């Protein structure tokens, strides 16, 4: 059979021959025309120019198609299709290494901005570990799965010794345990990590699960152990790990509990469930600690059978170990950068919220002290201008009061355009009516209503500005209105206004 690249080459040659013939014919025709018109002052030159242009187009098109032909075709089989959900990484080892180092350097700068010492120390520890790993790569195989699936039994069987305690109850392995494992054909000893089980209930179970997940995230190769069909609650963490770019083998353990027919059905079913995250050849069966068999009055203890799993691990690490380690280091460095970014964002948000908090109370106090018949957005915008400047400085954007005023005014116009002023008055009137201490009768109530509405609108404005600064001083594709509406919805959903009105009536209105 002819291979596809060979057919493509033939097709390309045929096309080239056809177009060359066409070109020769064209040149001949042009030459004839040229000879016929060569003494004409304009037509002769024009024909030569057209001919040259045509030649240029032909050469450019040929170069382009030759380049396309030589580009490596993306394989539709093998690991690529199984990992279609993996993040894309550069091809060359040097690029991966360079990017990882770059990310680690960036992380240093990010860590310097983090105020929370615990979070900073945790990041520093992970980053130091990764740097050490880069300096002296050692492959890490992590055994992951639900409690009692037989993870420790599998580790023991692979190592050929009783390394970890095995037990029928959930939670036998309480902390991740690392063993060195010399595998034939793999230059350095591999690290194999036995994890506590996931999906166990209670605070201790949750703690153990988070440790198992952290280990899994650092794995070069994951062994996901199950002892039956996969539950949806098991598929979800698997999907998350695959999305992080993890390479995994799925091990159906305890196959001595099934007949050969049942084993095949289960295996087939599992292969379908995890496709395309895990390739069929990476879904394997094992019998890590077979139950003893009673033969008459005798008890016979069969040997563990994990040879298929061991062979596959060896083959994967042999063929892909180097690139798996580099991919893993790069992915981990990206993830650390992302975590640091989130911590910094949360920290900035907290600082920004404090600014908003302060201004919402200033505005409420000022409006309460100077009640006027209608909410005066212009007056509020004048105070909010300072809030915008302070919020900008939290996010590293220096702006003067005039710029702050312009932004505050444009937001005030949006609030009016969306009918939020009337909305705020209605909402606060309703809530104030339920706050027994404040009289809702007559003109007296105007001041609290105006004041609480102004405080609420200031908060909406402030939260909208957080979005604006977080997006590098942009309202995003959907514009200022969409941002404001989203803030209104989230503030209403949180029940913040009720608490605020109650607090305001206690702190300000009753004293007024
Ligand atoms: N029949 C059978 N039982 C097995 C097999 N592998 C493990 N077991 C049993 O399953 C139970 C749990 O085994 P462990 O290896 O402790 O399981 P684990 O996944 O490490 O459990 P945790 O550490 O609690 O999360 C033990 O009673 C084992 O004897 C197997 O291949 N066949
Ligand atoms: Mg265990």
- Least Cα distance to 465 among 422, 510, 409, 511 occurs for 409
Residue that wins the pLDDT comparison between 383 and 17: 383
Q: Give the CA distances from residue 167 to residues 175, 193, 358, in Å, rounded to whole numbers and listed in that order.
A: 14, 18, 57
Q: How many Cβ atoms from other residues are within 10 Å of residue 138's Cβ?
A: 13
* 173 in Cβ contact with 151 (< 8 Å): yes
The DSSP output letter for 256 is: G
- Least Cα distance to 508 among 356, 383, 365, 363 occurs for 365
148 CA from centroid of ligand 2 (Å):
7
Give, for ligand 1, the residue of 156, 164, 167 to mutate: max count of ligand atoms closer than 8 Å to Cβ: 167
- Least Cα distance to 434 among 495, 490, 373 occurs for 495
Question: What is the position in ligand 1's atom list of the atom closest to the CA of 145?
Answer: 19
Mean pLDDT check: name the lowest of 18-22, 50-54, 293-297, 397-401: 50-54
Query: Is the Cβ atom of 168 under 6 angstroms away from ligand 1?
Result: yes
Question: What is the position in ligand 1's atom list of the atom closest to the CA of 173?
Answer: 23
Q: Structure pTM?
A: 0.64
130 CA from centroid of ligand 1 (Å):
32
pLDDT band of residue 67 (cuts 50, 70, 90) is low
CATH 3.30.465.10 fits 82-340, yes or no: no
Query: Is the Cβ atom of 147 under 6 angstroms away from ligand 1?
Result: yes
Residue that wins the pLDDT comparison between 160 and 434: 160
Mean pLDDT check: name the lowest of 251-260, 424-433, 441-450: 441-450
Shortest-distance ligand to the CA of residue 177: 2
pLDDT at 74 over 50: no
Q: What is the percent of the chain where pLDDT is above 70?
A: 88
The domain segmentation of the chain, as residue ranges, is: 4-70, 82-340, 370-509
User: What is the greatest pairwise CA distance in the chain?
Assistant: 116
Distance CA(123)–CA(337), nearest Å, equals 9
Query: Is the Cβ atom of 257 under 6 angstroms away from ligand 1?
Result: yes
Shortest-distance ligand to the CA of residue 147: 1
Give, for ligand 1, the residue of 148, 206, 303 to mutate: max count of ligand atoms closer than 8 Å to Cβ: 148
Distance CA(55)–CA(257), nearest Å, equals 74
Query: Is the Cβ atom of 252 under 6 angstroms away from ligand 1?
Result: no
Q: Which residues pair with residue 198 across a beta bridge?
A: 146
Question: What is the position in ligand 1's atom list of the atom closest to the CA of 153?
Answer: 15
Coarse DSSP helix, strand, coil percentages of the chain, rounded to the nearest 5 percent: 65, 10, 25
pLDDT band of residue 84 (cuts 50, 70, 90) is very low
Query: Is the Cβ atom of 397 under 6 angstroms away from ligand 1?
Result: no
Residue keyed to tokens 């992970």: 126
pLDDT band of residue 170 (cuts 50, 70, 90) is confident
**CA-closest residue to ligand 1 atom 16:** 166
* 163 in Cβ contact with 141 (< 8 Å): no
Query: Is the Cβ atom of 152 under 6 angstroms away from ligand 1?
Result: yes
Query: Is the Cβ atom of 224 under 6 angstroms away from ligand 1?
Result: no
Distance CA(18)–CA(268), nearest Å, equals 51
195 CA from centroid of ligand 2 (Å):
7
What residues flank ion ligand 2 with Cβ within 5 A? Answer: 151-152, 172-173
The residue-averaged pLDDT of 319-346 equals 92
**CA-closest residue to ligand 1 atom 21:** 148
Query: Is the Cβ atom of 100 under 6 angstroms away from ligand 1?
Result: no
pLDDT digits (tens, 9 = 90+) for 480-495: 999 999 999 999 999 9
Question: What is the position in ligand 1's atom list of the atom closest to the CA of 286?
Answer: 31
pLDDT at 83 over 50: no
Mean pLDDT, rounded, of the chain: 86
Distance CA(8)–CA(102), nearest Å, equals 41
pLDDT at 437 over 70: no
Residue that wins the pLDDT comparison between 1 and 268: 268
Residue keyed to tokens 């492959």: 139
pLDDT at 256: 96
Q: Give the CA distances from residue 432 to residues 368, 450, 453, 494, 503, in Å, rounded to whole numbers and listed in that order.
A: 14, 11, 11, 18, 11
Residue that wins the pLDDT comparison between 258 and 202: 258
- For the stretch 458-488, what's the b/e string if a residue is b when 16 or more beta carbons lie within 10 angstroms of its beta carbon? bbbbbbbbbbbbeeeeebeeeebeebbbebb
Question: What is the position in ligand 1's atom list of the atom closest to the CA of 169?
Answer: 24
Distance CA(424)–CA(418), nearest Å, equals 11
pLDDT at 220 over 60: yes
The residue-averaged pLDDT of 26-34 equals 73
233 CA from centroid of ligand 2 (Å):
19
Distance CA(122)–CA(56), nearest Å, equals 60
pLDDT at 75: 36
pLDDT at 270 over 70: yes
Q: Which residues pair with residue 287 across a beta bridge?
A: 305
pLDDT at 68 over 60: no
pLDDT at 87: 65
Distance CA(428)–CA(459), nearest Å, equals 14
**CA atoms 348, 349, 352, 358: torsion sign:** negative
Q: What backbone phi and psi angles, to 5 degrees, belong to 143?
A: -95, 120
Shortest-distance ligand to the CA of residue 228: 1
The residue-averaged pLDDT of 94-116 equals 93
Query: Is the Cβ atom of 164 under 6 angstroms away from ligand 1?
Result: no
The DSSP output letter for 280 is: G
- Token pair, residue 296, equals 């008459």
**CA atoms 389, 392, 394, 396: torsion sign:** negative
**CA-closest residue to ligand 1 atom 27:** 168
């Amino acid at each position: 059979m002819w291979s596809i690249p060979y057919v493509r080459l033939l097709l390309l040659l045929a096309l080239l021959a056809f177009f060359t013939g066409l070109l020769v014919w064209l040149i001949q025709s042009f030459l004839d025309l040229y000879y016929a018109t060569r003494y004409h002052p304009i037509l002769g030159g024009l024909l030569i120019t057209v001919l040259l242009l045509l030649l240029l187009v032909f050469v450019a098109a040929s170069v382009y198609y030759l380049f396309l032909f030589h580009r490596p075709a993306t394989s539709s089989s093998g690991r690529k299709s199984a990992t279609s959900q993996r993040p894309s990484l550069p091809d060359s080892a040097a690029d991966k290494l360079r990017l990882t180092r770059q990310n680690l350097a960036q992380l240093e700068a990010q860590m310097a901005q983090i105020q929370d010492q615990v979070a900073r120390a945790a990041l520093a520890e992970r980053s130091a570990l990764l740097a050490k790993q880069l300096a002296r790569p050692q492959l890490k195989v992590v055994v992951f799965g639900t409690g009692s699936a037989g993870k420790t039994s599998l580790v023991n069987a692979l190592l050929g010794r009783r390394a970890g305690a095995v037990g029928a109850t959930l939670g036998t392995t309480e902390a991740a345990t690392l063993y060195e494992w010399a595998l034939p054909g793999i230059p350095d000893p591999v690290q194999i990590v036995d994890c506590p089980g996931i999906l166990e209930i209670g605070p201790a179970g949750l703690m153990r699960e988070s440790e198992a997940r952290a280990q899994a995230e650092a794995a070069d190769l994951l062994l996901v152990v199950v002892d039956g069909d996969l539950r949806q609650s098991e598929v979800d963490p698997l999907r998350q790990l695959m999305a992080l770019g993890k390479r995994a083998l799925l091990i159906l353990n305890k196959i001595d509990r099934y007949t050969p027919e049942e084993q095949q059905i289960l295996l087939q079913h599992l292969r379908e469930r995890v496709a395309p995250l895990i390739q069929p050849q990476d879904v394997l069966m094992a019998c890590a600690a077979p139950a003893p068999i009673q033969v008459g009055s005798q008890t016979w203890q069969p040997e563990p059978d994990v040879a298929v799993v061991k062979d596959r691990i060896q083959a994967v690490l042999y063929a892909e170990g180097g690139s798996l380690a580099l991919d893993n280091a790069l992915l981990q460095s990206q993830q650390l950068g992302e975590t640091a970014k989130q911590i910094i964002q949360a920290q900035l948000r907290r600082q920004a919220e404090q600014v908003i908090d302060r201004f919402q109370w200033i505005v409420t106090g000022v409006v309460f002290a100077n009640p006027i018949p209608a909410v005066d957005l212009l007056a509020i915008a004048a105070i909010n201008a300072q809030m915008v400047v302070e919020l900008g400085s939290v996010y590293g954007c220096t702006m003067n009061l005039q710029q702050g005023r312009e932004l505050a005014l444009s937001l005030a116009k949006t609030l009016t355009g969306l009918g939020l002023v009337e909305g705020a008055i209605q909402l606060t009137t309703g809530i104030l009516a339920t706050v027994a201490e404040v009289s809702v009768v007559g003109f007296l109530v105007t001041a609290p209503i105006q004041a609480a509405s102004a405080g609420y609108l200031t908060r909406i404005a402030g939260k909208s500005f957080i979005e604006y600064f977080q997006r590098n001083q942009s309202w995003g594709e959907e514009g200022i209105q969409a941002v404001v509406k989203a803030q209104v919805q989230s503030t209403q959903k949180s029940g913040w206004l009720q608490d605020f009105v109650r607090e305001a009536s206690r702190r300000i209105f009753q004293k007024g």
